Amino acid sequence: MYNRQAMNQYRQVNAQAAVDSSPYKIITLLMQGALDRMTSAKGCIQHNNIEGRNQFINKAVDIIDCLKESLVHKHDEEMTANLENLYDYMSRRLFEANAENNAVMIDEVYGLLNTIFDGWKELEGKLPDSGVSEAYGEQQAAGLAK
């Protein structure tokens, strides 16, 4: 019982930290969160934990959908359209991975998102705090940081 309370308090602090962060930091946290959940889903596959796999994949899909919604199309329409299509593909592949209990599909999506994440990390310090992800809301950050 005490572990659950401690975990809930940690999540609340983590969610508040995400809301108080710059848009760059929020996107960074979301990408890392999606990667972590895919890793956890693979672990669930290895341990034949169907419920856990389902929960972690669904959370990864939720985060990827949030990343897609955070795209600002006015800055570079072609790039953001390509990213939007890639995020759609990743979500579909994760749903397929869940249905087929397929860790290889999770690895594929992990690799794609990790490539985007590596590029995103290179932008650190090069972007202003505002305008990076104007479509991204505080409520989404608080809800997905859990």
Among 32, 23, 78, residue whose Cα is nearest residue 59: 32
Q: Pull the structure tokens for residue 33.
A: 């969160």
Q: What is the CATH number of the domain that holds 21?
A: 1.20.120.340
| Statement: the pTM of the whole predicted model exceeds 0.85 | no
Structural domain count of the chain: 1
Q: What is the span of the domain harbouring residue 86?
A: 2-144
Q: What is the pLDDT along the chain (146 residues), one digit of tens a residue?
A: 445 555 555 555 455 655 566 888 899 999 999 999 999 999 999 999 999 999 999 999 999 999 999 998 887 899 999 999 999 999 999 999 999 999 999 999 999 999 999 999 988 777 665 444 443 444 444 444 44
CA distance to 11, 71, 79, 82, 121, per residue, from 116 (Å): 25, 13, 12, 12, 9
Among 143, 123, 122, 146, residue whose Cα is nearest residue 133: 123
